[in-house]
Structure 1
């Protein structure tokens, strides 16, 4: 199990997507700007 899978509701597929977006640790995800995350994923 990867570090991101320690977050409730995050499984292998979600973790893989987050890693592809550049979020490899819980800290990197916690420190991320929600608007920038939206732009990366949705635009």
Structure 2
């Protein structure tokens, strides 16, 4: 819904090994931060 509302036709999802391994922003924030790509991918199912 966000993509169509904002006229975005292409979504690029890349793979960056270990780019979040150094995140040290607190246990709860680390858990939320590392889940971001999965949430984005899952939300594209509703297009």
Give TM class, smaller chain.
under 0.3
TM-score by length of 2: 0.26
Higher relative contact order (CA 8 A, sep 6+): 2
TM-score by length of 1: 0.27
